[in-house]
Amino acid sequence: MGYYQIPVHKDDIEKTAFVVPWGHYEFLRMPFGLTSAPREFQRCMSDLFSELNFVRIFLDDVLIFSKSTEEHANHLQIVFGILIKAEASINFEKSSFCQKKVTYLGNVVSEDGIQADISRVENCKLYMPPKNHKDVMKLVGLLNWFRPYIENLSQRMAPITAKLSNKTTFNWDNKEDAIVTRIIEEIKRRTLLNYPDPKKPFTLTTDASDMGVGAVLSQENNLIGLYSRKLTPTEQRYTVMEKELLAIIKALQHFKNIVFNSQINIKTDHSNITFLKDSTNSRVQRWRLLLEEFNYSLEYIKGATNTVADHFSRCLILGEKEKDCFRYNLPTIKRLQKEDSVIQNLIQNNSKLIRKHETNLYVDSRNRLLIPRNYADKLLKDLHIYLGHPGVNKTFKSISKYLSINKCKKLIHKIVKKCTLCQINKIRQCKHGRITGSLATFEPWNDISTDIFGPIEANNFSEADEVSHKIYILTVTDRASRWTELGILTNITAKAVCNSLEKIWLEKHPKPVTLLSDRGKQYTSGLFESLLKKHDIKHIFTSPYNP
């Protein structure tokens, strides 16, 4: 119910209107289903706790971590104070306090470190081998979620990911089954990732093979993180030295937020890496410059002793069969079928649209299980999550073959629109205009671009401004250096734009040769053209409808 704690702006209340047979209604509080609701709620939560480094926020999931019981009590008091001040309420029934171990966003966080929550894998009882490319895609998606905890996952999954290509004939045999099985068994062993100590040096052990690169980040023999990556066809043609160096570069970029500004001892089994400065290869020299960002030292170790990272980069076996984690609650469905008036009417009328299956459950003429209306919502929600949050049409296509649900597509549409994950991750399809002409420029201060951003609520822009009114921002950017100046406008008349342009740019910087703008009325006005003529600046317009 967190969304309902955020009021809808009075100017936007009418946009939430909906009509039902008994009346017309509007939301005064932010409802589920609005496109902007998830990100607005996340923004509000992030703003509330932005200054607290002991709090992590994901929508309505708040994680508070402390070093001691006393510190935790103090942290809770601070968090409660912020929530009280914001007039936000807590669902204490769903909350846990003073825990030594919690499950947060699919991870088990404890005082020892972080582990994957493997409940989904442990509950898998049945196995359905992939029958096509889409089934393989679901399997790869499931296993990829455990990537931070699995040694060299990319290379081990290479035979599986190769089957995602539609250019090859689909074939699944015992070899792939064995690969997936081994991966699942490793997931169940629950690798523990320890917490890093930035005051202590790190050890990064890397290796590369013809198929991929792998790395292990550790600290005093404690595992901090794992990294693996499959090589692209182009990267597979690199020299041995380039592959080994690529493993180091990619691993450092992956762990940058952990190891930056700390001492890093990089161990590699390729001796030539220790002579980087002598290489004349331009690619190697570019990578060497990237290495200079880090406080590192290189150490050569024999390949025979580099067993950990070597295993990550070379093991091409991946395994396990995708298991059907979803279980229909058949006893519940059977009971609800007896209570459903529609189903019972069909039974009493001896309708040809319904028959009794050997399992004593009722199915329709197409042998699809009849789902009672009061159980359909819960079932569809579970299936939508299990199928990987597909859209309305894909969910309906997957379900309609096996289940008979009244007004199924409408129910699915409602569920998808209210699904927080779907709203956050939905891909926005938009057509971009064509870029016409050339905007290339090489001389700083010669060519500038300008535009107007807004309107913006002033009370959102500055906490010191207690009066709510709208403002605009004039942006002026040098196209060569990307240097940008901003000016605040209370209105966007031609006079206001001209005055701001003179103040933030023409009086401070060398006069430009050209100015690029859109065809807004401020820029096409006689006053603006007079200003440019005064300073001998050529005015260039963007093409309409093709930004």
Domains and their CATH numbers in the chain: 2-98 (no CATH), 101-325 (3.30.420.10), 330-425 (1.10.340.70), 447-541 (3.30.420.10)
Cβ-proximal residues to 529 (8 Å cutoff; 6+ apart), any chain: 539
Q: Positive or negative CA dihedral for 289, 290, 292, 298?
A: negative
The Cα–Cα gap between 242 and 325 comes to: 43
Share of the chain above pLDDT 70, in %: 78
Tokens of 301: 């170790």
The confidence score (pLDDT) of residue 309 equals 46
Is the confidence at residue 273, as pLDDT, over 70? no
Return the amino acid letter for 491: N
Average pLDDT over residues 116-138: 64
The Cα–Cα gap between 423 and 420 comes to: 5
The Cα–Cα gap between 439 and 543 comes to: 12
Q: Positive or negative CA dihedral for 411, 414, 417, 418?
A: negative
Phi, psi of 155 (to 5 degrees): -70, -35
Identify the weakest region by mean pLDDT among 55-59, 202-206, 303-307, 311-315.
311-315
Average pLDDT over residues 132-148: 73
The confidence score (pLDDT) of residue 435 equals 56
Greatest mean pLDDT range, 327-331, 379-383, 469-473, 509-513: 509-513
The Cα–Cα gap between 287 and 466 comes to: 51
Average pLDDT over residues 456-484: 72
* CA distances in angstroms from 221 to 114, 191, 204, 307, listed in the order given: 16, 14, 11, 14
The Cα–Cα gap between 388 and 398 comes to: 12
The Cα–Cα gap between 353 and 162 comes to: 45
Return the amino acid letter for 508: K
Neighbours of 505 (CB within 10 A): 23
Identify the weakest region by mean pLDDT among 2-16, 18-32, 147-161.
147-161
Contact 260, 292 (CB under 8 A): no
Helix then strand count (H, E) for the chain reads: 21, 21
* Three-state secondary-structure class, residue 222: strand
Q: What is the mean pLDDT of the chain?
A: 77
Edge to edge, the sheet with strand 202-208 lists 222-230, 212-219, 202-208, 263-268, 295-300
User: pLDDT confidence of 528, banded at 50, 70, 90?
Assistant: very high
Tokens of 304: 């025979």
Place of tokens 């406080």: 295
Q: Positive or negative CA dihedral for 31, 36, 40, 42?
A: positive
Phi, psi of 36 (to 5 degrees): -90, -5
User: pLDDT confidence of 46, banded at 50, 70, 90?
Assistant: confident
Smallest Cα–Cα separation from 541: which of 434, 449, 454?
Answer: 449
Residues 336-389 have pLDDT tens digits of: 888 888 888 888 888 878 888 767 788 888 888 888 888 888 888 888 887 778
Q: Which residue has the higher pLDDT, 255 or 328?
A: 255
Average pLDDT over residues 292-314: 60
Contact 288, 320 (CB under 8 A): no
Residues 418-467 have pLDDT tens digits of: 777 776 666 656 565 565 556 667 788 899 999 998 887 665 444 444 44
The confidence score (pLDDT) of residue 177 equals 74
The Cα–Cα gap between 353 and 337 comes to: 15
Q: What is the crossing angle of helices 373-386 and 392-400, to 10°?
A: 110
Average pLDDT over residues 74-88: 84
The confidence score (pLDDT) of residue 243 equals 84
Which residue intervals of 2-157 are DSSP H helices? 37-48, 69-85, 119-122, 133-144, 153-156
Identify the weakest region by mean pLDDT among 278-287, 419-428, 443-452, 509-518.
419-428
The confidence score (pLDDT) of residue 546 equals 61
The Cα–Cα gap between 146 and 126 comes to: 20
The Cα–Cα gap between 182 and 265 comes to: 31
Is the confidence at residue 138, as pLDDT, over 50? yes
The Cα–Cα gap between 421 and 20 comes to: 27
Phi, psi of 179 (to 5 degrees): -60, -50
Contact 216, 269 (CB under 8 A): no
Phi, psi of 25 (to 5 degrees): -130, 155
Average pLDDT over residues 401-412: 87
The Cα–Cα gap between 246 and 410 comes to: 50
Residues 155-198 have pLDDT tens digits of: 677 777 777 776 667 777 777 777 777 776 666 665 667 778 88
The confidence score (pLDDT) of residue 327 equals 44
- What is the C-alpha end-to-end distance of the chain, expressed in Å? 41
Greatest mean pLDDT range, 17-26, 98-107, 476-485: 476-485
Phi, psi of 470 (to 5 degrees): -95, 140
pTM for the model: 0.37
Average pLDDT over residues 535-540: 92
